[in-house]
């Protein structure tokens, strides 16, 4: 840090013989300097927050683009955004179908300043607009993904299941997910349960022999853990962990924890004041996300999401094993004849009415 020499601007008397080396102005300068430093230390968080608001690059862009007058779509005071994580793996010289194994709806209240994160299981059995029946994670690829009607199909399915509108969407591939976290400099994730997965698949080794060479062992210890992109991706995708972490629902909760960690890091003062980091994140957003959020709407949504405090964030996973009051509104039928022999999840009530009522109560608690 460069300190300012206040004494350099004070002219010395022509004849300072017999005078003190520190005149009244010199003492005053020292007092002022100490006072300014003391004030700055005490108020550093406030100063940084103020600077973040003024210098926030997204706010600057929004001012130039005129997005200050833009209003986000909303229903009953809530804006709902669907996040889809796509996974297209290769198997030797074969490329697998595009699956959306991560299906998360984020609902933010405009006046309540709260955020609700809802995860839908990939095995949920749904009907397409064409009358076909699929696991919900198959819809995107089955209808052509980004270049077809896959996004529209899965948006419609989610709306039918939850009984609420989806205003915006974002489709993110896992490679981009990893790059975002690395750009942020890693994130601090709350690992709720320690677990070890001895069967985490190694990309590109799906057909390797012996079979044991297809997998690696990964472990996580309970507590706050700093993760880079690769580690966070493994934490989010693991399916064969011990200690109860081998279910799709446990995986969904881990993904929610990573989202909260990314939100905290993305909205931190350190990130907001790092222009190169903001630019890199914006470039990733512009080039890698299939979304209907344009730049103007993005800024407004960013501001709205920023105002939703972490103490006001609730998470929900729809599953078949929790109590009904905790989201256990699904079940897995034992007779799979009607489902093409696939393991699926369907509503306990036989339709989505119970889920609709539960989601309304959960959002407007």
Q: Which long-range contacts (CB under 8 A, 24 or more apart) does 155-158 make?
A: 155/82, 156/129, 157/126, 157/127, 157/128, 158/82, 158/103, 158/105, 158/120
Per-residue pLDDT tens over the stretch 56-102: 444 544 444 444 567 889 999 999 999 998 865 533 333 445 778 88
Give the whole-number percent of the chain exceeding pLDDT 90.
42
- Say yes or no to pLDDT of 3 above 70: no
pLDDT at 363: 94
| Euclidean distance between the first and the last CA atom of the chain, given in angstroms as a whole number | 50
pLDDT at 310: 63
More confident residue, 273 or 140: 140
Q: Range with the lowest mean pLDDT among 33-42, 155-164, 328-337?
A: 33-42
**How crowded is the C-beta side of 87, counted as CA atoms within 13 Å?**
14
* Cβ count within 10 A of residue 338: 12
* Alpha-helical runs (H) found in the chain: 24-42, 44-55, 57-65, 139-142, 150-162, 174-183, 229-237, 248-266, 269-272, 275-288, 295-307, 353-363
pLDDT confidence band for 33 (50 / 70 / 90): low
**Which one of 3.40.50.800, 3.40.630.190, 3.40.50.300, 3.40.640.10 gives the CATH number of domain 68-363?**
3.40.630.190
| Residue 316 · residue 118 · CB < 8 Å | yes
Q: Range with the lowest mean pLDDT among 39-53, 70-84, 105-119, 269-283?
A: 39-53
Token digits of residue 42? 């005490």
Average the pLDDT over 156-173 and give the result. Answer: 94
Per-residue pLDDT tens over the stretch 218-242: 999 999 999 999 999 999 989 999 9
Nearest C-alpha neighbor of 112 from the set 300, 304, 296, 257: 304
Q: Three-class SS of residue 320?
A: coil
CA–CA distance, 298 with 277 (Å, rounded to integer): 17
3-state SS of 250-278 is: HHHHHHHHHHHHHHHHHCCHHHHCCHHHH
Average the pLDDT over 315-342 and give the result. Answer: 92
Per-residue pLDDT tens over the stretch 259-308: 889 988 887 877 777 778 878 888 888 778 888 888 778 778 877 877 77
Residues of the chain with CATH 3.40.630.190: 68-363
| Residue 281 · residue 266 · CB < 8 Å | yes
pLDDT at 224: 96
Distances (CA, A) of 2 to 27, 31, 43, 270, 328: 20, 18, 20, 21, 60
**How crowded is the C-beta side of 91, counted as CA atoms within 13 Å?**
7
pLDDT confidence band for 183 (50 / 70 / 90): very high
**pTM of the entire structure?**
0.72
pLDDT at 206: 80
pLDDT at 327: 92
- Say yes or no to pLDDT of 163 above 90: yes
Question: What residues contact residue 153 under an 8 Å CB cut-off, 6+ apart?
Answer: 128, 129, 139, 140, 142, 143
pLDDT confidence band for 41 (50 / 70 / 90): very low
Computed over every residue of the chain, the mean pLDDT equals: 80
Phi, psi for residue 105 in degrees, rounded to 5: -105, 130
pLDDT at 156: 95
Token digits of residue 25? 């102005």
Distances (CA, A) of 185 to 188, 202, 280: 10, 24, 12
What Rg, from alpha-carbon coordinates, does the chain have?
26
More confident residue, 202 or 30: 202
Q: Range with the lowest mean pLDDT among 84-98, 195-209, 246-260?
A: 84-98
Phi, psi for residue 91 in degrees, rounded to 5: -125, 90
* Cβ count within 10 A of residue 325: 10
Average the pLDDT over 344-356 and give the result. Answer: 96
- Say yes or no to pLDDT of 6 above 50: no
Average the pLDDT over 28-52 and give the result. Answer: 50
Full DSSP string of 184-238: TT-EEEEE-S-EEEEEEEPTT-TT-SSGGGGEEEEEE-SEEEEE-HHHHHHHHH-
Instruction: Name the strand (E) or helix (H) holding 122.
Output: none
| Residue 338 · residue 350 · CB < 8 Å | no
């Amino acid at each position: 840090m460069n300190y300012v020499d206040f004494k350099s601007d004070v002219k010395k008397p022509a004849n300072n013989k017999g005078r003190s080396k520190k005149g009244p102005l010199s003492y005053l300068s020292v007092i002022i300097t100490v006072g300014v430093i003391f004030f700055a230390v005490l108020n550093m968080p406030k100063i940084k927050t103020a600077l973040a608001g003024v210098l926030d690059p997204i706010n600057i862009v929004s001012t130039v683009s005129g997005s200050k007058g833009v209003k986000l779509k909303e229903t009953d005071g809530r804006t709902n955004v669907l996040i889809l994580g796509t996974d297209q793996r290769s198997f030797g010289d074969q490329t697998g179908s595009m699956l959306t194994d991560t299906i998360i709806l984020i609902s933010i209240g405009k006046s309540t300043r709260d955020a609700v994160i809802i995860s839908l299981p990939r095995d949920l059995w749904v009907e397409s607009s064409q009358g076909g029946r699929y696991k919900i994670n198959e819809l995107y690829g089955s209808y052509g993904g980004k270049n077809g009607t896959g996004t529209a199909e899965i948006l419609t399915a989610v709306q039918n299941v939850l009984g609420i509108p989806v205003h915006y969407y974002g489709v993110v591939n896992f490679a981009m997910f990893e790059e975002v976290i690395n750009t942020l400099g890693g994130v601090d994730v709350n690992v709720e349960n320690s677990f070890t997965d001895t069967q985490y698949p190694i990309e590109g080794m799906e057909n390797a022999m012996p079979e044991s060479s297809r997998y690696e062992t990964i472990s996580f210890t309970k507590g706050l853990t700093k993760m880079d992109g690769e580690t966070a991706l493994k934490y989010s995708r693991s399916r064969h962990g011990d200690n109860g972490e081998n279910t799709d629902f446990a995986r969904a909760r881990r993904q929610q924890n990573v989202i909260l960690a990314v939100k905290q890091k993305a909205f931190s003062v350190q990130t907001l004041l790092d222009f190169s980091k903001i630019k890199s994140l914006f470039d990733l957003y512009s080039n890698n996300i299939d979304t209907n959020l344009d730049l103007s709407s993005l800024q407004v949504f960013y501001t709205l999401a920023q105002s939703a405090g972490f103490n006001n964030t609730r998470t929900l996973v729809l599953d078949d094993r929790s109590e009904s009051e905790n989201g256990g509104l699904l079940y897995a039928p034992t007779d799979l004849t009607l489902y093409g022999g696939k393991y699926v999840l369907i509503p306990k009530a036989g339709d989505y009415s119970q889920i609709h009522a539960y989601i309304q109560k959960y959002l407007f608690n």
